[in-house]
Each structure stands twice: as C-alpha cells, then as structure tokens.
C-alpha cells in the first residue's frame, strides 16, 4: 500500500482539514534546495520525488500518535522534522509524509531552581535562550544557528560554541516523551514515573537516551518522533536581555566588563610550516585551563572559521582572505562572572599566568584579527553561533573531516587530515581543487567538551552548489574517513548514520546488526524515515554503493 486519498481523509479526521495539505505548491516548499552537498545529491537523484505527498501539522503528542498510526495502516513513510536544516529531514523517496511540528511550539517550563527547561519540538534556541536569560540561565548555541529546533538538535546532533560548558547535544538531554514508529508512547527518565516530572534522565525510571541518540548523530527520525524533552540550562551572569545595538549586518553587541570578557590568544608562528607546534600549544593551553577549572568558552579556530564566521558580507570575506586578516588560527577564551565579579577577576589572573607560562600572547584591540572577531562579532558566538555566515564563501558547506576524541588525539587528527588533503591537492587527482581554496580543508575547529573531558573537531569544505562540487566535497569526506579507519580512530563512529552503518558496522563490533534489530523491532513496517537510523536488512554491496551517495 501507499499514500492515498483514504489515508489523507484519515489524517484530516485527526488534525482537522486546516492542518494537513497535499497542495503541490505547499508540499514543494518542503523540498527546498539544500545547501549541503548531501542535499544537492539528494535533489539531483530524486527530482520531483523530493516533494512530499502531504504535510501534516499535529498539535499534540496524541495527534502525532494518530498520524503515525495512519502511516502504519496504509504503509507509507513519514519524516518528523524540526526546522528542516539537514537533508535527512527531507524526502529521500516518493510518497512520503512530512510531520511539521510548527503547532507544537511551547516552552512548557523554565525551572530556575533546578536549572532545566521543558520544551516542545518547535521551540528554537533563540526563544529558549531569551527566556532562560531572564532567569539568570542560558543554553548552548549551535553554529547551525539559534533558529533551529532545540529538541531536533538535541535528539540528532549538538556541536556548540560553548561546548566547554555544555558538551554535546546528548549531554543536554534529560527526560523525554517519545512516539514510537508504531504510534505507541514511551517516556524516558523521570517522565516515566507518575508524578515525577521532567527533572532528570538516568534513574529512577528507564534511561533511553542511548536508543534515541546513537553515536555522534541520533536516529534522524528513523525511530519515531520525540514530542517533548527536558534539557539542562547553565548559569548566566547577565544581562537578562542580550545586549545588541544597530540593525542587520551592522549590529554589534558588548557585554558589561564585570560579567563577561573575551580573550584572543596567539602562539606566534608561521602557517602551515609550524602548524603542529601551534596546535600542540593550543591543546596544552586547554589542558591547563581544564586543570584550573575556569572559563565558559574554550575554542581554537583556524583561519577558515574565523574568516567565515566574522565576515558580514561576501565582499568582506574575500577582502579578508586577500589581506590575510587571520594569518593562522587563534585560541578564543570567554570568562564569565558565573558566581561573582571577584571570580571573574580570579579567572583572568589564572588565564594570564597559564598563557604566560606557555609563551602565548594576548591580542589587543589594535590587532586587526581582534578587531574583526572580538570587537565586531564576538558575542554573536553566544547569540546566534554565526550560522548565517557559513553561506558567505560559496552558499554550500560540508565537513571535510569530523572526529570526536581526546583533545590531543583531535590535534593529531587535524594534522593527519590536513597533511592528507594538501597531498591530494598536489597529486594527479587534484582532489579538492574544485572547492573554494585556500579556505577548504585548511586548519581545524577544536571544540573541547565539558571542561576538557573530550573534544570535537571539524575542518570544513566550501564547494559550489552543483552536483560536481557536491561529489567532490563528499569524496574529500570519504577519504578522510578512510584515513581515520586506517589509524583506527574511534572518532570514525561520528559517521555512523543511515547506510554508513552497513559500510562501517563490521569495523565497529558489528554494531549495524544490533541497530538493524532495533529498527526491525520498533519499526516493523519500516515507515519511520527509511533508511534511517539504518535499513532493517543487511544491504548488498551493489545496493550499498548506490545508497552511500546520500547519507
């Protein structure tokens, strides 16, 4: 069976005529052009089949149950989505139903005392942050942008500008309400206990976060729809309203000196000749900051990120590239008066001692790099994560390599990937030469997590938004993955999603067989956003070849 007029009528009965549509024009808008290479390939492969057969807007968990049961009865695929930024939130076959959570947009609670919030799927980071700041709290900021869904991001990914405090998305998730692919509801954490509320995740009550989240990436809508979560909030020293001045690209923001201070730190060196020395210095700095238990933002950004994130226009980006405003990467540290201004003064003294001991230098307001980043756009790192500026280089972006490991292993991986990618550019294949250079696969983003316990990194690529550009970016990514497998980096688990389970599972204790069992048991009709989290059956090598084109 498939999507049909009868199924459509059943959906109308559940959500009301005004909350479901099969209008081709409206449906087409749910297949908009993707700016990631995977999306470009998906669009190229599917054409008009990227348009869903219908879009439904349930208003409650019970209505979500109803529409998911209809999908099971008539056996057509459904895709839960947040704000639809990543390609797995879009149809990858004809006859799909998109479940848009726009009507489920309530912040149910901000619990000041216990520092957590309860939110529905369409609450975005900007909304949650604004409400939390009123109560002296704040939440992580993804460089994907604070316009994205908190719930979708925590269930699916979660790399943040302030991950020194917040860790990954999975670390922020507490209790949740979950409609399974069959339409049954389960609760995780304290929400599973009558009257216990949404305050906690791991006991009493079952902790199902592992099922929901997978490795670095969650199940991408492949195991039903999460309809409510609680999540952690962190202390914010104020002000209670994010301070901004001006409009549009001229907007600036400054925090009061007694609550928050930025530092841009250099280990003067020549790039790329002394890249290894400088990155090891950055790692040592992070370990010392971890030991001293200070700071709220701890990052190392390569030139590619500094230029992309700080440039307010395309012109500015290409001018800065020419002028080499950032001749190499820098460390960025944020200190906050989390408990008092005295604490901030103390942390500043400690930071200055650490940096001095390591031979580092603090940039001053007169340095062009400081002016371009801290003076003009530093606070955006906490407000919007600079998201929109990812579009400055080429309107298309993909990670060239990604890894999750200890800080020093991450440094090794950046050095390995950069060496490999420079060699590619010089080789006969010239892999990467079609990407925007010298910005692509150049340097690395080092983002330590949870006070330095672990670390996430990426190097990014900027292809043109064409099928050739997309394929080249994906080839760079696959090659980096092959390199990671070659050195048996555990960070390669970051790639486990969709058909990649079949590709990599045998190298990771046959995890694909376990995930397939889960998919089969929870989604017997394979209707929840197939082929995510993975396919129920083992895929033949030929079929796999075709599928890995779109992860």
Ligand X SMILES: Cc1cc2nc3c(=O)[nH]c(=O)nc-3n(C[C@H](O)[C@H](O)[C@H](O)COP(=O)(O)OP(=O)(O)OC[C@H]3O[C@@H](n4cnc5c(N)ncnc54)[C@H](O)[C@@H]3O)c2cc1C
Give the interface with ligand X as residue ranges (CB under 6 A): 36, 79-86, 88-89, 121, 142-144, 148-149, 151-153, 155-159, 169, 220-221, 225-226, 390, 397, 529
Long-range contacts of 541-548 (CB under 8 A, 24+ apart): 544/499, 544/502, 544/503, 547/498, 547/499, 548/499, 548/500, 548/503
Closest to ligand X by CB, 85 or 351: 85
Least separation in angstroms between CB 148 and ligand X: 3
Closest to ligand X by CB, 155 or 190: 155
Cα of first residue to Cα of last residue in the chain, in angstroms, is: 26
Closest to ligand X by CB, 294 or 306: 306
Closest to ligand X by CB, 180 or 415: 180
Closest to ligand X by CB, 190 or 394: 394
Residues 545, 551, 422: CA angle, nearest 5 degrees: 85
Least separation in angstroms between CB 355 and ligand X: 27
Least separation in angstroms between CB 494 and ligand X: 12
Contact yes or no for 30/101 (Cβ under 8 A): no
Closest to ligand X by CB, 86 or 301: 86
Least separation in angstroms between CB 447 and ligand X: 9
CB atoms within 10 A of CB 115: 16
Q: How many CA atoms lie less than 13 Å away from 287 in the CB half-sphere?
A: 13
Closest to ligand X by CB, 86 or 278: 86
Least separation in angstroms between CB 155 and ligand X: 5
Contact yes or no for 52/79 (Cβ under 8 A): yes
Closest chain position to ligand X (CB): 82
Contact yes or no for 361/374 (Cβ under 8 A): no
Q: How far is CA 232 from CA 85, 114, 116, 128, 150, in A?
A: 23, 9, 4, 11, 11
Least separation in angstroms between CB 333 and ligand X: 19
Least separation in angstroms between CB 346 and ligand X: 31
Show the beta-strand stretches assigned E in 35-134. Answer: 54-56, 78-80, 97-99, 107-111, 116-119
Contact yes or no for 484/497 (Cβ under 8 A): no
Closest to ligand X by CB, 148 or 435: 148
Closest to ligand X by CB, 378 or 530: 530
Closest to ligand X by CB, 185 or 358: 185
Least separation in angstroms between CB 549 and ligand X: 17
The token pair at 338 is 């989390």
Contact yes or no for 166/295 (Cβ under 8 A): no
Least separation in angstroms between CB 388 and ligand X: 9
Closest to ligand X by CB, 130 or 425: 130
Nearest to 48 by CA among 88, 96, 81: 96
Least separation in angstroms between CB 532 and ligand X: 6
How far apart are alpha carbons 462 and 522 in whole angstroms? 38
Residues 146, 149, 153: CA angle, nearest 5 degrees: 95
Partner residues linked to 230 by β-bridges: 118
Contact yes or no for 233/300 (Cβ under 8 A): no
Residue entry with tokens 């057509």? 76
In terms of phi and psi (left: phi > 0; alpha: psi -120 to 50; beta: otherwise), the region of 324 is left
How far apart are alpha carbons 435 and 440 in whole angstroms? 7
Least separation in angstroms between CB 521 and ligand X: 17
Q: Where are the alpha helices (DSSP H) in 464-551?
A: 467-486, 500-504, 511-522, 541-547
Signed CA dihedral, 424, 428, 432, 435: sign only: positive
């Amino acid at each position: 069976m498939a999507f049909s007029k009868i199924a459509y009528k059943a959906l109308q009965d559940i959500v009301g005529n005004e909350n479901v549509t099969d209008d081709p024009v409206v449906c087409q808008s749910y297949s908009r052009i993707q700016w990631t290479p995977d999306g470009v390939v998906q669009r190229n492969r599917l054409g008009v089949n990227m348009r869903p057969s219908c879009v439904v807007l349930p208003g409650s968990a019970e209505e979500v149950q109803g529409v998911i049961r209809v999908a099971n009865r008539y056996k057509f695929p459904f895709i839960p989505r947040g704000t639809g930024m990543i390609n797995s939130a879009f149809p990858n076959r004809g006859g799909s139903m998109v479940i848009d959570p726009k009507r489920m947009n309530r912040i149910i609670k901000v619990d000041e005392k216990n520092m957590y919030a309860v939110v529905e799927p369409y609450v975005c980071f900007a909304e949650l942050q604004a409400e939390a700041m009123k109560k002296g709290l704040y939440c992580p900021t993804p460089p994907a942008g604070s316009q994205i869904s908190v719930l979708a991001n925590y269930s699916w990914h979660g790399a943040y500008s302030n991950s020194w405090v917040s860790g990954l998305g999975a670390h922020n998730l507490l209790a949740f309400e979950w409609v399974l692919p069959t339409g049954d509801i389960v609760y995780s954490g304290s929400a599973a206990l009558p009257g216990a509320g949404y305050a906690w995740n791991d006991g009493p009550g079952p902790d199902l976060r592992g099922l929901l989240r997978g490795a670095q990436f969650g199940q991408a809508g492949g195991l039903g729809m999460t309809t409510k979560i609680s999540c952690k909030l962190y202390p914010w020293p104020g002000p209670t309203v994010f301070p901004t001045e001006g409009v549009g690209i001229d907007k600036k923001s400054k925090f009061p000196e007694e609550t928050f201070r930025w530092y841009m730190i250099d280990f003067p060196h020549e790039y790329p000749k002394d890249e290894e020395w400088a990155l090891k210095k950055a790692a040592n700095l992070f370990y010392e900051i971890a030991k001293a238990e200070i700071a709220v933002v701890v990052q190392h950004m390569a030139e590619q990120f500094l230029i992309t994130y700080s440039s307010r226009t395309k012109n500015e980006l290409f001018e800065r590239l020419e002028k080499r405003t950032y001749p190499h990467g820098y460390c960025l540290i944020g200190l906050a008066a989390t408990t008092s201004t005295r604490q901030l003064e103390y942390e500043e003294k400690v930071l200055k001692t650490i940096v001095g001991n390591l031979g580092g230098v603090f940039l001053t307001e007169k340095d062009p790099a400081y002016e371009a980043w801290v003076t003009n756009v530093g606070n955006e790192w906490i407000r919007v994560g600079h998201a929109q500026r990812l579009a400055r280089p080429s309107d298309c972006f993909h990670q060239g390599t990604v890894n999750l490991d200890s800080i020093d292993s991450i440094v090794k991986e950046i050095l390995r990937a950069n060496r490999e990618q420079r060699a590619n550019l010089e080789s006969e294949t010239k892999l990467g030469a079609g990407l925007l250079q010298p910005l692509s696969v150049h340097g690395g983003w080092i983002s330590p997590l949870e006070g330095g316990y672990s670390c996430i990194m990426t190097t990014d690529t900027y292809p043109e938004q064409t099928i050739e550009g997309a394929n080249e970016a994906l080839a760079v990514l696959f090659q980096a993955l092959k390199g990671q497998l070659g050195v048996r980096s555990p960070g390669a688990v970051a790639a486990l999603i969709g058909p990649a389970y079949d590709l990599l599972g045998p190298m990771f204790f046959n995890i694909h067989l376990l995930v397939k069992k889960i998919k089969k048991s929870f989604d017997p009709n394979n209707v929840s956003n197939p082929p995510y989290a993975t396919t129920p059956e083992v895929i033949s090598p030929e079929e796999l070849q075709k599928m890995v084109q779109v992860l």
